[in-house]
Structure 1
Amino acid sequence: MPTDPRPGDGPRTAAARPGGPRPAAARPTVAAVEAFRLSLPLVHSFQTSSHRKSHLEHIVVRVAGADGTVGWGEIASPSDPYYCPETVDTCWMILQRYLAPALVGSEWDHPADAGRAWAKIRGHHFAKAGLDIACWDLWTRASGTRLADALGGTRDRVAAGVSLGIEPTVEELLAQVGRHVADGYRRIKLKIAPGWDVAPVRAVRAAHPDLAVQVDANGVYPETDEALATLRELDALGLLLIEQPFAPGALAAHARLAERIGTPVCLDESVDDLDQLDSAIALRAGTVLNIKVSRMGGLTAARAAHERAVAAGWRVWCGGMHEFGVGRAANVAIASLSGFDLPSDVSGSDKYYAHDIVAPPIRAVDGMVEVPSGPGLGHEVDEEFVRAQAADAFRV
């Protein structure tokens, strides 16, 4: 049977944290917000059930406090409306017109309260996530605290999984899997779609019988007899979980599937706020939650989702949106929380980008990523590179 790897080194006590307890930061006042549209080429093109991409365009956010402290965030929304309704274009407009002006001049005692500045703006979780991450980075840098500790993290290292897209052939997929297994990654996630599901997954399982493998459909299957037959075949392959087989709003369909198969059903696109999580729990629409900082609206919401899901008996792990270094560092920090007991999509940025925007770069060693010990995100943004590469920028 495949292994079910656990993601960390076990709990850390407060005394073991670098430097011990830190003083609370002074109340920050946000003096300015800057945003940069930045595109980076992928080392290897990536295909999901909707499309193939060879580069990623994200928005990098810089929040400056009145005392000169700076915090960085990232809006890792898709460029096209296939994963969710938000896109880079919609996030850019909402950020420039509404969110950034609402945040400038605001004061708060804790970054979890920063969202009050934009509370009346409905939805737009990806856009909000960039500012929320930046506020957490700003606050923890001002207090000299590492972000993971401020969030309540308990690990010094987190287990990294790798997400692999749909390849032209099964042979090319097996080559990709083999390279990542050789690099020490402990879990592989395979994108699936009608016509690319049972055969490639069965081939990976045959080649790596003890590897932790999970699949992700991004909501592409209808609830038909044919689709259910496919999912039952996948159920027999010893998978860690089956992620988002049906459309985001189809919680009842997910609940029916969860009763029919033994493999845990994981939700992703179905849950982007706590109310949706409550509904999913009440309907028993799954038993695993993919918590994406970007999809949930930032670290504040992601931490709350972690607490609520774990309290309900769900397993959680941290998913990713192929973030640049800023968003990836935020993922590492949230994945250090004790409830994240499955490997997360926090793999080294070198798997996706030849030149990332942070230093030191985020790296995985033997399938584990170190939680940085420095204040804030624990990585410094290459601001000169960001400004030089930005296709567009604004300041509020």
Structure 2
Amino acid sequence: MIIDRVDIIRVKNPFVHPFETSFVRFVERDALIVKIYSEGLVGYGECKAFFAPLYSPEDNGTCHHIIKNIILPVILHKDIEGPEEFMEKVSFIRGNNLAKAAVENALWELKVQREGKSLKTLIGGVYNEVKVGVSIGIQPKTSDLLKRIEKYLAEGYHRTKIKIKPSKDIEVVREVRKHFPDITLTIDANSSYTLDDIELFKAMDEFNLAYIEQPLAENDIIDHSVLQKQIKTPICLDESIESLEDARRAIEMGSCKIINIKSSRCGGIHESIKIHDLCMKHNIPVWCGGMTELGIGRVQNISMASLPNFTLAHDIAASNRYFDEDITIPTVNITKNCTLIVPDEKNGVNYMIDEKAIEKMMVSHDVYK
């Protein structure tokens, strides 16, 4: 397919509630949308970087630069067969996975339209619906956190994840377990600890956590291996896994027992499928992580989570969990069983882009043709 034109649109969408992790407090989703025109079709991809290099070395500014100045010369007015060929053509780019994934995701959408098949079908998904978990940011008071948990449990979420950071960790977890002794509970440290905190994580074993997500630095696969051997609670790696090779090393070193696959962090859906397959081969369960996406990225996450080894509850959630408005029609909503229906040509579930919503949220619009 010939790539005729590429638009990069920056939008801002305020959160219903501020979302705080160990490294930042977000009040809005500041995102880039990549819109690719090809032979009468239009595909959308969402860049999941943030306004600053907080979660990864990339941010919206670096991604815009990489897409405009490095990727576009490779694809604009060129014949690109699909996402797989695109990833081969940009393999010379070191890192910058979020930028590459934004374009790759749009190419998947074009492939969906060209072939008349759902993304689930194209990638070999098997689930018709996927379970949803909730991720709750750090709260000012533990009492606030308990109220949030109670609210989300009433809505039926299948797993509760709470963010922790030094000084807001074990006492918070102890209080949550006291009030909710039987729920599926996980904690996410977002790389905010070191092996100096090993006794803290040994103490966490008493709380029957489903897993501890990314306790140590993103480049500490070795240290995670040391920690996993010292604790009973499974470690789930997130930021550490950016490629198939990262996953292979982590599995061989025993650095984790679970992996959170975020397709954008791994460079796109194509690489994520490879990671999924490797984990399935080694009996490492996976789940789909969220990055407070808008509807475009959220819908693609649902489809990816239909692959067979995505057996744990996911951080995908309904759009209204984060936003009053979103950019798909319909917006993403959970079922009464707190699941998400996977878009499929057989069940007729489909999402359209709400161009008016994008225009309303738009900060800038750059056109390249």
Fold shared by both chains (TM-score > 0.5): yes
Partner of 1:239: 209
The sequence identity of aligned pairs, in percent, is 33
Partner AA of 2:339 in structure 1: M
Q: Distance in 1 between matches of 2:53 and 2:80?
A: 34
Q: Does 1:206 align with 2:175?
A: no
Counterpart for residue 342 of structure 2: 371
Q: 1:279 aligned to 2:252?
A: no
Find the aligned partners of 1:395 and 1:278 in 2 and give their Cα distance.
Answer: 39
Question: 1:336 — aligned with what?
Answer: 306
Amino acid at match of 1:363: N
AA aligned to 1:345 is D
Q: 1:387 aligns with which of 354, 359, 364?
A: 359
CA distance in 2, matches of 1:186, 1:204: 16
Task: Confirm whether residue 305 of structure 1 aligns to residue 278 of structure 2.
Answer: no
Report the 3-state secondary structure (helix = DSSP H, G, I; strand = E; otherwise coil) of the residue aligned with 2:207: coil
Q: Aligned-pair distance for 1:198?
A: 1.0
- Structure 2, unpaired ranges of 5+: none
Q: Which amino acid aligns with 1:305?
A: I
**Residues 379 and 100 of structure 1: CA distance in aligned 2, closer, same or farther (over 3 Å):** farther
* Structure 1 residue 308: Cα displacement: 1.2
| Inter-partner Cα distance in structure 1 for 2:254 and 2:124 | 28
CA-to-aligned-CA distance 1:242-283 (integer Å, 9 cap, x gap): 011110111111001111111111111111112211211221
Question: Relative to structure 1, is the Cα distance of residues 109 and 95 closer, same or farther in structure 2, using a 3 angstrom cutoff?
Answer: closer
Cα distance change, pair 377–387 in 1 and its aligned pair in 2 (3 A): farther
Judge conservation of contact 1:75–1:130 (CA < 8 Å) in 2. Answer: yes
Moved more, 275-284 or 53-62: 275-284
Using the alignment, how far apart are the partners of 2:206 and 2:97 within structure 1? Answer: 36
Residue 391 of structure 1 aligns to a residue in which SS?
Answer: strand
> What TM-score does the superposition give when structure 2 sets the normalisation length?
0.96
Q: Distance between the aligned counterparts of 1:328 and 1:377, measured in 2?
A: 14
Q: How many pairs were matched up?
A: 366
* CA shift for structure 1 position 328: 0.4
Q: Is the 8 A contact 1:36 1:392 kept in 2?
A: yes
In 1: Cα distance, 2:358 partner to 2:73 partner: 22
Q: Distance in 2 between matches of 1:290 and 1:235?
A: 20
Give 1:206 deviation, angstroms. 2.0
Q: How does 1:349-368 map to 2 (within 5 A)?
A: 349-365=319-335, 366-368=337-339
The structural deviation recorded for 1:377 is: 9.3
What's the offset of the Cα at 1:109? 3.6
Q: Which AA in structure 2 matches 1:197?
A: D
| Cα distance in structure 2, aligned partners of 1:387 and 1:142 | 26
2:317 match: 347
Compute the TM-score of the two structures, normalised by the length of structure 1: 0.89
* Matching residue of 1:21: none
Q: 3-state SS of the aligned residue for 1:30?
A: coil
Deviations 1:2-38 (Å, cap 9, x if unpaired)?
Answer: xxxxxxxxxxxxxxxxxxxxxxxxxx22211111011
- Per the TM alignment, residue 374 of structure 1 is displaced from its structure 2 partner at its CA by 4.5
Check conservation: 1:43, 1:351, Cα contact below 8 A: yes
- Give the CA deviation at 1:335: 0.3
CA positional deviation for 1:89: 1.1
Show the counterpart of 1:291. 261
Q: Higher RCO, 1 or 2 (CA under 8 Å, sep at least 6)?
A: 1
Distance 1:161 1:254 in 2: 24
1:162 is matched with 134
Match of 2:16 in 1: 43
Check if 1:79 corresponds to 2:27. no
1: CA distance between counterparts of 2:88 and 2:349? 22
Runs of 5+ unmatched residues, structure 1: 1-27
AA matched with 1:275: E
Report what 1:115 is aligned to: 87
Report deviation, 1:338.
0.5
Aligned to 1:295, what secondary structure does the other structure show? coil
Does 1:254 pair with 2:224? yes
